[in-house]
Structure 1
Amino acid sequence: MNGRGLITATMRELERVKVIEAVIEGRLRCFQAAERLDLCERQISRLCRRYEADGPAGLVSGKRGQPSNRELPIDLRARAMALVRERYADFGPTLACEKLAECHGLVLAKETVRRWMRDAGLWVPRRQRPPKIHQPRARRACLGELVQIDGSDHRWFEDRAPACTLLVYVDDATSRLMALHFTATESTFSYFEATRAYLERYGKPVAFYSDRASVFRPTYSRTGARGVTQFGRAMYQLNIDTFCANSSPAKGRVERAHLTLQDRLVKELRLRGIQTMEAANAWAPAFMAAYNAHFAKPPRSTFDAHRPLRDGEDLDAILTWRVTRKVSESLTVLNDLMIWLLEDTPATRRLIGHYIDVWEYPDGRIELRAGGVALPCVPYELPEIDQGAVVEHKRLGPVLQVAQAMQAQRDNRRVSGSPSRTNRGAAVRKPATLPGTKKARAFTQAELNETILQLATQHAKQPEPASKPARRSARAH
């Protein structure tokens, strides 16, 4: 008990002595003393008899200085702390409590273990821990040694066009803008397109440094193993390392570039009246030149770490989406809600029951390959059924716009047919207005696909398969 608790207990006991003396001297009645001390009258009578027999010492509680009835044995605490020091010194109280019960049969409350570990100096409460210090990391020595990449979803064209994503490539050694690419959403094929332009202009850097988005870092499978993403596989084939940052400050150069671009680039686009991603991508090199002249830093070394592309490195083949699919007994391959019919030949019959590669190109072409050889095939489409897609929060806005456009088109189809008897007198619905258009009218499928193209349906690739119309329009982009 601390000093404040002792003072409180002493004042309470002095008050009790005064009240009991008053009852014995006849200055207070028992019921009055009971109300003042919040006790019953029978207890007041007992205290009076103790005071008459032993004086003020008789009013002291007999439990003072005695261990609590709920206190655990001392040897149990010593045994538990010995085990924690020996095996679980770096464990938290909750995990240490679980291991004590699981491995040693010591069933304790986690708060008890927490208090014991705190008293023994084996665990420090979070509030008492010193704050983490993130010291700045030194820049890399030369150009192309490390390139930070990230996407920024922003209203780059303000109210002149819907929000889109800007993929930014920043060199770590110089803070130079290496590439700017406006795209609908942050997807694998968007990074393929931007990375291809980077490689064709500068060559291959040593490494790319990114965040832990699903484009760069795969999620765990059901077996607990971590695979590789399509972007990681392509960079491995090009002999380019990829690293993921643990936090946003770790890739602070590209994060600070986002803030500058969201201020300066938005205003430059406004002054030039640019309101489309195509026009912005065409003008981006001029902006990068002016930006680098103002903000770029000289590298410590004049050596350029970029490497040229080798003769055998075909970017058309490397920057593809590749999956494996099984050939059925009927010489068919199911991929993305579409059945592909293989040509019936002795060579393809030997592939029954085996897995082959399905290559999807950014322009929407599909190739079925076995042993590096393309197989002749024709598509056979399944009925269009929308599947629930897993969409990251960064791409939720464009996905909802796509859903609205597709729903509007389906509504137009329903009201354009002959009315049934039940709704023959019903009013015809107003034609839908697709996002990005001004007039309300019915749209053809080609116009719908073009609108969906502008609304960034590239979300279908990450991280789970989405509906077929959205995936196809994204790959065509």
Structure 2
Amino acid sequence: MRVLTMSDSELDKLEIIRDVDLNRMPARAAAVVLGISERQVWRLLKRYRLQGAGGLISLKRGQPSNRKTPYDVRLAVMAVVRSNYADFGPTFAAEKLHELHDLSVSRETLRAWMIEDGLWQTRKKRRGRVHQPRYRRDCVGELIQIDGSDHRWFEGRGPKCTLLVFIDDATSRLMHLQFVQTESTFAYYKATRTYLETFGKPIAFYSDKHAVFRVNKPGGANTDGLTQFGRALSDLNIEIICANSSQAKGRVERANRSLQDRLVKELRLAGVSSMVDGNAFLPSFIADYNARFAKLPANPKDLHRAMTDRDNLDDTFTWRVDRTLSQALTLQYDKVLFILEPTEAAQAAIGKRVTVYDYPDGRLVIRYEDQDLPYRTFDKIRQVKQTNVVENKRLGSLLDLIKQSQEASPPPTRTDKAPRRRDQSGHMFNVG
């Protein structure tokens, strides 16, 4: 006994042709129901009488589609993909095939070919733990997600570095990207200042619990509970919100994954191999990325606030610490002893808290009640070097910096000043 496999449409056709054969339905009515010509009904009836139900099964079953891409075209396309875009996603690879090789293949066709050849996995195989989505904010500038992505952005052509990412929650627009050596306070100072000068002040920044954004050791030196970056944002009336998990700030995390795919390959195709050239390349990449992936906000209002004369970014983006001035007009900061000139303002500050302003460009100012106090440095420093506490995921960057410093600098002498903070430039403690 032969078993036939028929589709739903073929079973419907069988019923109608059987009714025509038994004179329960005229051929003209059957043609109307099936949506075919009356002549085709008579052909189907003839095949049914000769072969039975099997005569109504489509003759194209098991045959290649007439619209199938020729096999030699598939071979040519996949040869280019294997040699140039083996680690690209289907969408990105299809774009580059069209732009650079004049090969027009739909992304879904290319996806199927890449899956067949083992260059891509189906979504089901790539799917991990499910997290419920959070609704976007309504307006641009209402919430800006920020993060640092430590990655081999230049692959083997340049050093490992960090990309600081600023992305708008309402639109998924890349607002600012910047390559830096490591994810530090001064790196965020510089990137945030560029952002504010370009767009204005957002309502809030949304970050992880990195030590730049959050005091992770209660009861430490910062009794107000704010980090240096948090204090700077507070001065500008910008909130800083720390997420409880990476999934909570999923938009910037997903952007990081996309950037580690797309940006790395765009840098490779453009021959970029340094942070300087990379930062010059980023504006054109941001424009192209946003044109492809940015969404329209639910509310067209832009909540960025304009900078005012009261927003002194030079003083805001500094490393500030308070010190008590001794009877001898001395204070210690960063393992260096400073002696203040015996001016009237300095003598009035004896026994009181003065503020040390450590600027990113290397200048250092000691200030009391908005008045700068002249000082000089005492060239005797501590010889005991405290061990730095470093997060595990930043260890590679720190070791690279230490190695570069050891290769570039001679051994320190007794008159050397304290080491620079990361991402500061210029000479240490210029009087300003």
TM range (shorter): 0.5 to 0.7
1:332 aligns with 330
Shift of residue 160, structure 1, vs aligned partner: 1.1
Question: Among 270, 274, 291, which residue is 1:293 paired with?
Answer: 291
Structure 2 Cα separation of the partners of residues 286 and 343 of structure 1: 51
2:137 corresponds, among 132, 135, 140, to 140
Residue 235 of structure 1 is matched in structure 2 by 233
Tell me: CA distance 1:162–1:342, structure 2 relative to 1, closer, same or farther (3 Å). Answer: same
Counterparts of 1:19-34 in structure 2, within 5 Å, are: none
Q: Residue 326 of structure 2: SS of its match in structure 1? A: coil
Q: 1: CA distance between counterparts of 2:224 and 2:310?
A: 29
Over the aligned positions, Cα root-mean-square deviation in angstroms equals: 2.4
Change (3 A) 1:230 1:163: same
Q: Distance in 2 between matches of 1:257 and 1:171?
A: 11
Partner of 1:347: 345
* 1:235 partner SS: helix
2:323 match: secondary structure: strand
* Per-residue deviation, residues 243-296 of structure 1 (Å, max 9, x unmatched): 000001100000000011001101111111111111111221110000000010
Q: Distance in 1 between matches of 2:369 and 2:187?
A: 28
* TM-aligned CA deviation for residue 364 of structure 1: 1.0
Q: Give the residue type in structure 1 aligned to 2:214.
A: R
The aligned residue for residue 393 of structure 2 is 394
Of all paired residues, the percent bearing the same amino acid is 52
Look up the SS of the partner of 1:340 in the other structure: strand
Give 1:413 shift: 6.0
On the 8 A contact 2:204/2:238 being kept in 1, the answer is yes
Range 392-401 or range 237-246, more displaced: 392-401
Give the number of equivalent residue pairs.
293
Q: Deviations over 1:146-171 (max 9, x none)?
A: 11000000000111111000000010
TM-score under structure 1 length normalisation: 0.58
Map 1:162-201 onto structure 2 (within 5 A): 162-201=159-198
Q: 1:341: Cα distance to partner? A: 1.5
Q: Choose which of 236, 249, 252 in structure 2 pairs with 1:251.
A: 249
1:144 & 1:413 partners in 2: Cα distance? Answer: 48
Given that 1:220 and 1:226 are in contact with CA atoms closer than 8 Å, whether structure 2 keeps it comes out as no
Q: Distance in 2 between matches of 1:296 and 1:140?
A: 14
Say if 1:221 and 1:307 are closer, same or farther in 2 by CA, change over 3 A. Answer: same
Alignment of 1:74-89 (within 5 A): none
SS of residue in 2 equivalent to 1:233? helix
Q: Give the partner amino acid of 2:401.
A: V
**Take 1:157 and 1:203, find their aligned partners in 2: how far apart are those partners?**
31
Query: 202-211 vs 216-225, which deviates more?
Result: 216-225
Bigger Cα Rg: 1
Uncovered stretches (5+) of structure 1, i.e. residues with no partner: 1-131, 415-448, 450-466
Q: Tell whether 2:157 aligns with 1:208.
A: no
In the alignment, the residues of structure 2 paired with residue 155 and residue 308 of structure 1 have an alpha-carbon distance, to the nearest angstrom, of 36
Aligned position for 2:378: 380
2:314 and 2:330 map into 1 onto residues whose CA distance is: 26
Question: Who is 1:366 aligned against?
Answer: 364
Deviation at 1:334, TM superposition (A): 0.7
Determine the C-alpha separation between the residues in 2 that align with 1:177 and 1:474: 23
Separation in 1 of the partners of 2:185 and 2:411? 33
Q: 2:149·2:256 contact (CA, 8 Å) conserved in 1? A: yes
Mapping for residues 21-100 of structure 1, pairs under 5 Å: none
The answer (yes or no) to whether the contact 1:220–1:227 under 8 Å persists in 2 is no
How much has 1:235 moved relative to structure 2? Answer: 0.7
| Matched residue type, 2:176 | A
What letter corresponds to residue 211 of structure 1 in structure 2? D
Cα deviation code 1:298-339 (max 9, x no counterpart): 111111111101111111111111000121222111100111
CA contact (8 A) 1:209 1:245 kept: yes
Shift of 1:383: 3.5
For 1:385-424, what aligned pairs fall within 5 Å after superposition?
Answer: 385=383, 386-408=385-407
Gaps in structure 2 of 5+ consecutive residues: 1-128, 427-432
